[in-house]
RNA sequence: GCGCCCGUAGCUCAGCUGGAUAGAGCGACUGACUACGAAUCAGUAGGUCGGGAGUUCGAAUCUCUCCGGGCGCACCA
């Protein structure tokens, strides 16, 4: 039997059939057949307003068209019938028993894009301070998207770009060398002392960075001028490398980076490669890119206007008038010969697509339980894995950087790399801000102006924000208190593990439940909630399902095997090619809801002369909620594809929640273990087994573990 | 000034390529534990989808305009 995802498969089948019917009947080639999931099961499982849409071109009443189309649909494999409803909708009812067989068998279709080599860049925190809630959103979005691409069968490289030679690192170095008057030897000593005391270097830098930022503006005008000069002199030394200042920067930034990886690992987030800006500079990536940019004419030398003496490029969407100087052009090479950020980013992205003709050196940096994370270096070790050269890339970068991102894409397109430009996704998301109340609770001074705002932007420079590790610690403490109260029979280690799983589940779900372009106004009350639309709610549904199987002394696998026997008296079924036993349906003569849901006689066990179809359990007023659960379980691949094509993990988060909600509802309405009809009991257990399987799969894709108990 | 995002129930948010009575969670109020453990479930109240105009058989969804909020538009990264 060929694998397929029930809903997706039936949708495709109906669409192509409708396309053929429209062509044959009306000579209308219609590429996109609108298909939707109706708002209520009474309208069937799939529906199309295509007749409404065609009314004008065909000059016929929509209802007439719908009836004509329905007449040609009878007997379509996998469907139980079609009917015209409302103003001219065509509603399709699928063969429930047959669909349930497929779902139970765990059939899933291959999503589009299988085998593609993708590269996801996320996290990319400046290594000069502790990670905060904003970085958590980035990393959780990125990591989840990586899991989605992998679930779709893609080969994914996970990268975390490290700007170790930028102003932000320069600022902590200035603070260390000039505010604290310390040396390279002191830096070594500090790291050792912090290690012994069990303190975090990234927390230390959080405060130092904020102090230094203030220091730049807190003196007399001429003092501030000197401090600013010091800042840029330091930055210059970092870029050059091979000096004491850069050695301090390297030492501190690497220690902070290590902390970031540890923080993210608490959330189950891992990386394959850490490309650093220092290597992009020292290995002269830019020189190679510059040649290509000049040759393709993307960059031109400006001889007039405010950008005179610079190499510039035209911005995307800019209207250029012949013979006039484009004052709005983006400067890529400054008049002093140095390269801007966008320039370096173009070089880096040429490398990502394997178009630069240069590569990093590689050395191992961080060890995960099952693989190594590599970091860039000038002279690497052999052998090493190769990164870059991807077919599709995703950059998880906040929405404020959409302009520079668009510039990079524009440059690639201008160089003739249009296929790559099309597969370059700026995976943008809005920031995480704090509600004024949250800021006050944390002890920050909040101005009257800020108090009136809906939210206040987090700022590392100001030291304003919620640190990632603090939030995680707080979440674990809260779940631990709850777990200790509930799981009195379990030992310390077990309770801690469960608490961590729940805490991380709550945090990851919280960051994923919002769509990317909505600003998250962070508040501890919401983030620390474990009820309602939360990760723990979904995890709890899993635990409940598991408890049923434990009490019944069976397993989901055993139940599903039993279920297959129950529903497959002839051993066939499913969505195999030639399995059409449908009776033609004229389109207006059936109404499933009116059939009695249950016969008086007991169900004959599978394998007897009268095929023991399970329709009776899937239809009728009392069973619509069960069928809805099966139907949702059938949507896994559909949701996965939707998430990938729209770069929106929130759809999967919503799907998992709705699945859990329907399961909890089912759990209350139908008591499984006390069910007396053995066949129905098997059916109910199979329902739980399917829900359990789909819940665990969805949670895994979201990077959320399923605890054994809670 | 130009560009992008947002404005949906008291609060926080969904609403897929325009489609059938606008949904969820939280909060409020009513109920359900002799347990497949209530981190749960059922029910009630609550909405001029920011305002206006247009396109359409049909608009929360598309276009225009106005109002309100946010973020970008460096020879910073």
Q: Using CA atoms, how far apart are residues A256 and A191, in angstroms rounded to an integer?
A: 10
> Which of A104, A130, A156 is the last residue before a domain boundary?
A104
Q: Using CA atoms, how far apart are residues A430 and A427, in angstroms rounded to an integer?
A: 10
Q: Which of residues 658-677 of A touch strand B (CB under 7 A)?
A: 661, 664-665, 667-668, 670-673
Residue A300 lies in a domain: no
* Predicted pLDDT of residue A480: 96
pLDDT, average across residues A143-172 = 97
Please report which confidence band the pLDDT of residue A613 belongs to, taking 50, 70 and 90 as the band edges: low
Residue A229 lies in a domain: no
A167 touches strand B (CB under 7 A): yes
Phi, psi (deg, nearest 5) at residue A332? -110, -40
> Which of A51, A85, A104 is the last residue before a domain boundary?
A104
Q: How many CB atoms lie within 10 A of CB A430?
A: 17
Q: Using CA atoms, how far apart are residues A552 and A667, in angstroms rounded to an integer?
A: 15
Question: Is it the case that residue A551 has pLDDT exceeding 90?
Answer: yes
- pLDDT over 90 percentage in chain A: 79
Q: Using CA atoms, how far apart are residues A100 and A690, in angstroms rounded to an integer?
A: 10
Contact A259, A201 (CB under 8 A): yes
A63 touches strand B (CB under 7 A): no
pLDDT, average across residues A604-613 = 40
Alpha helices in A267-414 (DSSP H): 277-282, 285-295, 341-352, 402-414
Contact A656, A695 (CB under 8 A): yes
Q: Which of residues 172-211 of A touch strand B (CB under 7 A)?
A: none
Question: Is it the case that residue A81 has pLDDT exceeding 80?
Answer: yes
Please write the tens of the pLDDT for every residue from A560-572: 999 988 765 444 4
A616 touches strand B (CB under 7 A): no
Question: Is it the case that residue A471 has pLDDT exceeding 50?
Answer: yes
Contact A703, A269 (CB under 8 A): yes
Contact A530, A537 (CB under 8 A): yes
Q: Which domain holds residue A581?
A: 535-701
Contact A100, A614 (CB under 8 A): yes
Secondary structure (3-state) at A369: coil
pLDDT, average across residues A585-607 = 35
Q: Using CA atoms, how far apart are residues A231 and A221, in angstroms rounded to an integer?
A: 15
Q: Is A110 exposed, middle or buried (0-12, 13-18, 19+ CB in 10 A)?
A: middle
Please report which confidence band the pLDDT of residue A32 belongs to, taking 50, 70 and 90 as the band edges: confident
Q: Higher model confidence: residue A28 or residue A661?
A: A661
Pairing of strands A372-377, A273-274: parallel
Q: Which of A77-81, A258-262, A688-692 has the lowest mean pLDDT?
A: A77-81
Q: Higher model confidence: residue A3 or residue A415?
A: A415
Q: Which of residues 86-125 of A touch strand B (CB under 7 A)?
A: 86-87, 89, 91
Nucleotide B73, nearest residue via CA and C1': A403
Contact A298, A346 (CB under 8 A): no
A460-484 burial, b at 16+ Cβ within 10 Å, e below that, comes to beebbbbbbbebbebbbebbbeebe
Which CATH number goes with the domain that contains A56? 3.30.1360.70
A555-579 burial, b at 16+ Cβ within 10 Å, e below that, comes to ebeebbebbbebbbbeeebbbeeee
Contact A206, A463 (CB under 8 A): yes
Please write the tens of the pLDDT for every residue from A628-656: 999 999 999 999 999 999 999 999 999 99
Question: Is it the case that residue A180 has pLDDT exceeding 50?
Answer: yes
Please report which confidence band the pLDDT of residue A136 belongs to, taking 50, 70 and 90 as the band edges: very high
* Predicted pLDDT of residue A276: 97
Question: Is it the case that residue A133 has pLDDT exceeding 60?
Answer: yes
Quote the DSSP letter at residue A362: E
Which CATH number goes with the domain that contains A645? 1.10.730.10
Residue A53 lies in a domain: yes
- pLDDT over 70 percentage in chain A: 93
Which of A100-109, A321-330, A439-448 is predicted most confidently?
A: A439-448
Beta bridge partners, A244, equal none
| H-helix or E-strand spanning residue A501 | helix A492-512
Question: Is it the case that residue A595 has pLDDT exceeding 70?
Answer: no
Q: Using CA atoms, how far apart are residues A332 and A300, in angstroms rounded to an integer?
A: 10
Nucleotide nearest to A37 (CA to C1'): B16
Residue A222 lies in a domain: no
Question: Is it the case that residue A579 has pLDDT exceeding 70?
Answer: no
* Predicted pLDDT of residue A571: 41
Q: Which of A145-159, A506-520, A609-623 has the lowest mean pLDDT?
A: A609-623
Sequence-distant (6+) residues with CB within 8 A of A423 are A391, A392, A393
Distance A410 CA to B69 C1' (A): 31
Question: Is it the case that residue A592 has pLDDT exceeding 50?
Answer: no
Beta bridge partners, A396, equal A427
> Which of A87, A104, A121 is the last residue before a domain boundary?
A104
Residue A342 lies in a domain: no
| H-helix or E-strand spanning residue A363 | strand A361-367
Q: How many CB atoms lie within 10 A of CB A308?
A: 11
Residue A131 lies in a domain: no
Question: Is it the case that residue A587 has pLDDT exceeding 70?
Answer: no
Residue A137 lies in a domain: no
Protein-proximal nucleotides of chain B (any atom < 7 Å from a CB) = 4-6, 12-21, 23-27, 36-42, 56-58, 69-77
Q: Using CA atoms, how far apart are residues A57 and A165, in angstroms rounded to an integer?
A: 63
* Predicted pLDDT of residue A572: 41
pLDDT, average across residues A89-96 = 93
* Predicted pLDDT of residue A615: 81
Question: Is it the case that residue A87 has pLDDT exceeding 90?
Answer: no
Task: Give the Å distances, CA to CA, from A644 to A309, A426, A629.
Answer: 44, 13, 24
pLDDT, average across residues A344-356 = 97
Distance A533 CA to B47 C1' (A): 21
Q: Using CA atoms, how far apart are residues A367 and A633, in angstroms rounded to an integer?
A: 37
Please report which confidence band the pLDDT of residue A322 belongs to, taking 50, 70 and 90 as the band edges: confident
* Predicted pLDDT of residue A567: 61
Domain count, chain A: 2
Three state DSSP letters for A95-116: CHHHHHHHHHCCCCCCCCCCCC
pLDDT, average across residues A174-194 = 97
Secondary structure (3-state) at A515: coil
* Predicted pLDDT of residue A3: 39
């Amino acid at each position: 039997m060929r694998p397929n995802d029930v809903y997706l498969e039936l949708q495709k089948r109906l669409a192509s059939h409708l396309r053929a019917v429209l062509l044959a009947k009306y000579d209308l080639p219609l590429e996109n057949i609108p298909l939707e999931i109706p708002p209520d099961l009474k309208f069937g499982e799939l529906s199309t307003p295509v007749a409404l849409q065609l009314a004008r071109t065909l000059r016929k009443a929509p209802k007439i068209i719908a009836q004509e189309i329905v007449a040609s649909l009878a007997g379509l494999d996998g469907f139980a019938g079609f009917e015209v409803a409302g103003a001219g909708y065509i509603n399709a009812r699928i063969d429930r028993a047959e669909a349930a067989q497929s779902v139970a068998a765990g059939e899933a279709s291959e999503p589009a894009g299988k085998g593609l080599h993708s590269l996801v860049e996320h996290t990319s925190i400046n290594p000069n301070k502790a990670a905060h809630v904003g970085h958590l959103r980035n990393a959780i979005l990125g990591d989840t998207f990586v899991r989605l691409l992998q679930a779709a069968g893609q080969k994914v490289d996970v990268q975390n770009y490290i700007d170790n030679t930028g102003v932000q690192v320069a600022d902590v170095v200035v603070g260390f060398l000039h505010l604290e008057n310390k040396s390279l030897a002191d830096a070594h000593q500090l790291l050792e002392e912090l290690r012994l005391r069990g303190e975090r270097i990234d927390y230390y830098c959080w405060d130092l960075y904020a102090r230094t930022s203030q220091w730049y503006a807190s003196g007399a005008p001429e003092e501030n001028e000197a401090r600013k000069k010091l800042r840029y002199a330091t930055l210059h030394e970092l870029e050059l490398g091979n000096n004491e200042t850069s050695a301090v920067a390297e030492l501190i930034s690497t220690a902070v980076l290590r902390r970031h990886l540890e923080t993210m690992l608490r959330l189950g987030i891992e990386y394959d490669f850490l490309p650093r800006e220092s290597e992009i500079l020292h290995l002269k990536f830019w020189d190679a890119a510059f040649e290509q940019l000049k040759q393709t004419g993307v960059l031109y030398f400006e001889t007039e206007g405010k950008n005179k003496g610079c190499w510039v490029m035209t911005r995307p969407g800019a209207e250029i008038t012949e013979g006039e100087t484009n004052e709005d052009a983006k400067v890529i090479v400054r008049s002093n010969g140095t390269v801007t950020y966008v320039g370096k980013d173009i070089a880096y992205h040429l490398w990502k697509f394997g178009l630069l003709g240069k590569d990093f050196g590689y050395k191992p940096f961080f060890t995960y339980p099952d693989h190594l994370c590599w970091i860039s270096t000038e002279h690497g070790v052999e052998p090493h894995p190769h990164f870059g050269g991807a077919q599709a890339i995703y950059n998880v970068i906040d929405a404020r950087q959409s302009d520079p991102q668009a510039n990079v894409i524009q440059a690639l397109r201008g160089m003739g790399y249009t296929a790559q430009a099309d597969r370059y996704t700026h995976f943008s998301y809005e920031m995480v801000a704090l509600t004024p109340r949250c800021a006050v609770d944390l002890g920050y001074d909040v101005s009257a102006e800020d108090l009136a705002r809906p939210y206040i932007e987090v700022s590392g420079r100001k030291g304003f924000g919620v640190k990632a590790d603090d939030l995680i610690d707080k979440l674990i403490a809260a779940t631990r208190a709850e777990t200790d109260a509930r799981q009195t029979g379990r030992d310390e280690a077990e309770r801690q593990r469960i608490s961590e799983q729940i805490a991380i589940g709550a945090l990851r779900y919280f960051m994923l439940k919002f769509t990317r372009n909505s600003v998250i106004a962070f508040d501890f009350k919401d983030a620390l909630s474990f009820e309602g639309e939360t990760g723990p709610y979904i995890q709890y549904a899993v635990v409940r399902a598991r408890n049923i199987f434990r009490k019944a002394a069976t397993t989901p696998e055993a139940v599903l095997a039993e279920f297959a026997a129950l529903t497959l008296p002839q051993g066939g079924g499913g969505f195999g090619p030639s399995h059409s036993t449908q009776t033609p349906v004229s389109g207006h003569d059936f109404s499933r809801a009116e059939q009695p849901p249950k016969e008086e006689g007991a169900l004959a066990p599978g394998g007897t002369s009268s095929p023991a179809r399970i329709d009776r359990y899937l239809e009728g007023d009392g069973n619509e909620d069960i069928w809805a659960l099966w139907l949702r379980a059938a949507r896994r691949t559909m949701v996965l594809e939707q998430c990938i094509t729209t770069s929106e993990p929130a759809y999967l988060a919503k799907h998992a929640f709705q699945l859990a909600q329907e399961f909890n509802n089912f759990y209350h309405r139908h008591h499984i273990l006390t069910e007396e009809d053995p066949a129905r009991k098997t059916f109910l257990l199979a329902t739980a087994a399917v829900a359990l399987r789909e819940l665990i799969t969805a949670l895994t894709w979201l990077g959320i573990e399923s605890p054994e108990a809670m």
